[in-house]
Amino acid sequence: MNRCLFILITSLILLFCAESKRSFPLKEPLFILNQKKRVEEHLPDPKLASILFAYTIGGLKGVPKSVINSHKNLYLIHLFTPSGLHLSSIFIFLTPLLAFLKFKSFNYFFALSLLLTLPPFFLDGFWAVKRVSFLRLLWLVLKKTPLKVSLFSVFILAFCLDFFFGTFKESPLSFTYSFLFIGMIFSNQKWPSIWLPLFLMLGQFIVCFFQDGPFYPLNFFIGFFLTSFFTLLFPIFFISFCFPIICPITKWPLSLFLTLVQTGSKFLKNSPSFFISGDLLFLIFLLISSLNLKKKGIYLILFSIFTSSPLLNVTDRNTKISENFYLADEKKGIKKISRNQKGYKILYEEGWQCSYIISALGMEKNCQ
């Protein structure tokens, strides 16, 4: 089994295991609460202050629902959870600075890694940041030994230890999404870097399948651009949280990024989309497997013959019957049809309005 397929299948299993578990919010440390008050003094706009808190230390308290939905539509909700992306952003910001100051030796880099990766271990929560910090520290320690260990092996070792330490129990979805996307990044090591977005898109297929949401091909470009742009802006957000005096300046890049997210979300809603069904997911697994081309072709033909997607052939067996399913007399005629993100809304001549929600498992109809 190749690395990519191993990560995808394992993540899918972890997601089904995580579905039955719940994570509970932790009490914020006193110094973070005090820092929030200082930021609010210099950034009087409560909306921007709440979004700045969400980007830097996590949590959605005070963030407008429209902003949350915009991030969900673009599958950027992970930006509201401190993770390896946020930590890597700080490294990307500081590494050229060290090079400019002519601090290029391994010892300086090791000291910088300790400075950035050790503090999260003294805080409650922040599981994703701790996970990536542990991975980075483990890699730096093993580099000092004569052992020749690949980054992918270090990744597997770090996540196995992290699992046995109990962080999956504390925050199952955080663990699983970290495993999925970091694993896809390390699976790309033997391929040119230009293939990385494609590997991350395969991870997004798993998320769409699990969340029963649509996949927008255009988001392959929009989401990647916004994530990259956020990586450049996050050091500014983090510094402004630590030193609130510069918050009046920070509100401009913060407002700009927020505008881009909301514009991208509105644009995406009107773009083509499709659902990741179990059949399609199996086909993806088949195509990226290590089987030779001839066997893939045979299995693909058999798959096409014996499989049909419920999205293309919805039957009563795949239809969820609600209590008011039969309220609308469809023979009386349709007055208006409108499309929404999850399916369609139909207004009938006799006044009933029915929502048809199409998912990878079939169709759900609800009338009122």
Q: Each residue's pLDDT tens digit in the chain (368 positions)?
A: 588 888 989 998 888 888 766 655 666 777 788 888 888 888 888 899 999 999 998 888 888 988 998 998 888 888 998 888 888 888 888 777 666 665 555 566 677 777 778 888 887 778 888 888 888 888 888 877 887 888 888 889 989 988 888 788 888 888 888 899 888 888 876 777 777 888 888 888 888 888 777 788 888 889 889 999 999 999 999 999 989 898 888 989 999 999 999 999 888 877 887 778 777 788 888 888 766 777 777 777 777 776 655 444 444 444 444 444 444 455 556 777 776 666 677 777 767 777 777 655 556 667 76
Inter-CA distances, 361 with 137, 211, 273, 321, Å: 43, 12, 16, 13
Residue 220: its H or E element: helix 219-242
Instruction: For residue 28, report the phi and psi dihedrals to the nearest 5 degrees.
Output: -75, 140
Is the same domain home to 328 and 200? no
Report the pLDDT value the prediction gives residue 100, as an integer from 0 to 100: 62
Is the same domain home to 162 and 174? yes
Is the same domain home to 291 and 151? no
The residue segments making up the domain with residue 162 are: 3-274
Residue 238: inside a domain = yes
What's the CA gap between 196 and 184, in Å, rounded?
8
Sign, CA torsion 130/133/139/145: negative
Is the same domain home to 157 and 282? no
Residue 132: inside a domain = yes
**Predicted model pTM:** 0.76
Number of domains in the chain: 3
Is the same domain home to 300 and 358? no
Residue 21: inside a domain = yes
Report the pLDDT value the prediction gives residue 202, as an integer from 0 to 100: 87
Is the same domain home to 195 and 49? yes
Is the same domain home to 334 and 236? no
